[in-house]
């Protein structure tokens, strides 16, 4: 894995228009029909946020087995409607995570949501902020990195999406069961590799990196810059979490705990 620390990443670009004064970043909501409180908190937030843009940095959904599944799933249709309505009044963008990397352009286009590559640079006036889901940075999780390399290949995805929907759903349930077993065993998420994160920051010419995935919200020094980790969302199980990371045009940063308003 050591070579990955020095590879120059391909970085997307999101240039904020002058009209943006407030941008919200969220990730790791893991939306699923069995957790209605988290969905309702997210729906309320999307309807009421005063931000000019909401950037979703991966794992909006607990699982995604292909865009065709959305048209047959009432819960996913409800999620699509929330996105569709929000996108009519503000800029909504989505970056794939480790759970929903198969969300495709057809679904995003139907919802009016913009695609974000991982990583992407947010150029906002003089601010240069690097955005990522964060899973590619967690090099200590070697088993996951091997899995990620496999499932992000075009051949694997083509083969998976060609399977009947019922088979894809069955495979997804098996993977989720394995993930839940690992959680119950007390395993903690690996953190982002500092050398790799710093390399990304320097390649991007940014002074801040914002990512999710680790479920360990915090602010860390990173070279001369900072690394900000987003919160996951969970309102169906204690402890309740639903944090929004808000950026201001003047460079100010606020972490907003929407969980208090939802409980």
Numbers of helices and strands, H then E, in the chain? 9, 13
Q: Are strands 120-124 and 127-132 parallel, antiparallel or unpaired?
A: antiparallel
197-236: buried (b, 16+ CB within 10 Å) or exposed (e) per residue?
bbbbbebbebbbbbbbbbbbbeeeebeebbbbbbbbbbbe
Instruction: Write down the pLDDT at residue 1.
Output: 45
When pLDDT is cut at 50, 70 and 90, the band that residue 188 belongs to is low
When pLDDT is cut at 50, 70 and 90, the band that residue 4 belongs to is confident
- In this structure, how many other beta carbons lie within 10 angstroms of the beta carbon of residue 62? 18
Contact present, 27 and 232 (Cβ < 8 Å): yes
Bond prior to 178 in cis (omega within 30° of 0): no
Instruction: Write down the pLDDT at residue 191.
Output: 94
List the structure tokens of 201. Answer: 């920051």
Beta strands in the chain (DSSP E): 12-15, 22-26, 53-56, 91-94, 114-115, 120-124, 127-132, 208-211, 218-222, 225-229, 233-234, 241-248, 253-257
- When pLDDT is averaged across residues 209-235 and rounded to a whole number, the result is 97
- Burial class for 239, CB neighbours closer than 10 Å (0-12, 13-18, 19+): exposed
What distance in Å separates the CA atoms of residue 9 and residue 11, rounded to the nearest whole number?
Answer: 6
Has residue 198 got a pLDDT over 60? Answer: yes
pLDDT averaged over the chain?
93
Q: Which architecture does CATH list for 11-262?
A: 4-Layer Sandwich (3.60)
List the structure tokens of 243. Answer: 């944090």
Has residue 39 got a pLDDT over 50? Answer: yes
Instruction: Write down the pLDDT at residue 173.
Output: 87
DSSP SS3 for 23: strand
Q: What is the pTM of this model?
A: 0.94
What distance in Å separates the CA atoms of residue 44 and residue 35, rounded to the nearest whole number?
Answer: 15
What distance in Å separates the CA atoms of residue 124 and residue 221, rounded to the nearest whole number?
Answer: 21
């Amino acid at each position: 894995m050591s070579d990955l620390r020095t590879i120059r990443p391909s970085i997307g670009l999101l240039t904020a228009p002058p009209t943006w004064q407030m941008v919200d970043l969220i990730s790791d909501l893991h939306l699923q029909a069995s957790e209605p409180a988290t969905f309702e908190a997210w729906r309320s937030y999307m309807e009421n946020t005063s931000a000019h843009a909401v950037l979703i940095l991966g794992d909006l959904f607990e699982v995604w087995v292909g865009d065709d599944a959305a048209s047959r799933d009432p819960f996913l249709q409800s999620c699509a409607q929330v996105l569709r309505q929000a996108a009519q009044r503000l800029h909504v963008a989505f970056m794939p995570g480790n759970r929903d990397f198969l969300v495709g352009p057809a679904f995003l286009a139907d919802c009016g949501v913009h695609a974000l590559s991982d990583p992407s640079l947010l150029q906002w006036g003089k601010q240069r902020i690097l955005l990522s889901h964060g899973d590619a940075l967690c090099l200590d999780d070697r088993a996951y990195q091997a899995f990620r390399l496999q499932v992000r290949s075009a051949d694997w995805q083509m083969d998976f999406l060609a399977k009947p929907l019922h088979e894809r759903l069955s495979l997804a349930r098996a993977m989720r069961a394995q993930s839940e077993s690992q959680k119950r065993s007390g395993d903690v998420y690996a953190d982002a590799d500092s050398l790799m994160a710093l390399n990304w920051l320097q390649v991007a010419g940014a002074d801040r990196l914002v990512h999710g995935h680790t479920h360990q919200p915090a602010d860390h020094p990173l070279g001369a810059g900072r690394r900000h980790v987003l919160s996951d969302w969970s309102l169906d199980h204690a402890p309740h979490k639903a944090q929004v990371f808000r950026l201001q045009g003047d460079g100010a940063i606020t972490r907003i705990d929407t969980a208090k308003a939802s409980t």
